[in-house]
Amino acid sequence: MTKSFRSIFANGMEYTKTKEEHTKEDVHRIITEKAFELFTSKGIKEVKMDDIASELSISKRTIYEQFADKEQLLLEALKLHNRKMNAEAKARIRKAEHVLDIILSLYSLYFDSLKNINIKFFKELERYPSISKQHRKKDHNNDKRFLAWVELGRKQGLFRDDANLEILLYILRRDLQTIFSTRCKDEENELSKYTPEELGRALILFYLRGISTIKGQEIIEEYLTKTK
């Protein structure tokens, strides 16, 4: 019997095809998913191509047939992850009743995605300028979406008219960078004892609640109570 990939799961389905039965697209995706899992759990530097090949019971040559080098594999892994996140975000946006539903749901999605990521992963991403540039572009686009949602939220009576959003975004981005850079430098510092969910909750209370009207604050309080 032909040797098969180890069990790879996606959306609750197990791939049971043999190596020969997998299409090139199948192989590309499976390698990419496993690489992302290993990069984020162990750190990029720690993971070798041999490790990925061993995890999937394939040859290293099979990986190099799909990816020129480790950096390309990392880039493809991040692209796949972002596509999945974007698909989930769109699904949540479609279900939302108002702007705060959107923002709180996407906050939850973002911080939930950080739960199983080794903090070393973020620090080591800085060694890849092309990838860091793409992340900055994505952050910029996310900022524009957030500003558009807050403007809509003002019309819905959820956010204060006197909130200076440019200042808010600057401070929020600065504090997020401080949190992650501090945790990257020393895993035993005062922030290391808090989970991503706890950090996200604090940011919601401090920033999002601060620009909300009484109506908006009531929605946030209800959300925080439900998610305890």
Q: Are residues 133 and 73 in the same domain?
A: no
Distance of alpha carbon 6 from alpha carbon 19, whole angstroms: 10
The two tokens of residue 224 are: 């925080």
Closest CA to 162 of 171, 173, 150: 150
Last residue of a domain, one of 95, 113, 137: 95
Distance of alpha carbon 170 from alpha carbon 94, whole angstroms: 28
Q: Are residues 221 and 148 in the same domain?
A: yes
Q: Are residues 15 and 107 in the same domain?
A: no
The two tokens of residue 72 are: 């390309």
Q: Where are the alpha helices (DSSP H) in the chain?
A: 24-42, 49-56, 60-66, 70-95, 99-113, 119-125, 129-155, 165-185, 196-203, 214-226
Note down the domain range covering 29: 1-95
Number of domains making up the chain? 2
Last residue of a domain, one of 65, 95, 125: 95
Which position has the higher pLDDT, 205 or 67?
A: 67
Last residue of a domain, one of 95, 110, 128: 95
Question: Can you give the pLDDT at residue 22?
Answer: 59
CATH code of 64's domain: 1.10.357.10
Q: Are residues 74 and 178 in the same domain?
A: no
Q: Are residues 23 and 119 in the same domain?
A: no
This prediction's pTM: 0.77
For the stretch 74-107, pLDDT in tens is 999 999 999 999 999 999 999 998 999 999 999 8
Question: Can you give the pLDDT at residue 15?
Answer: 44
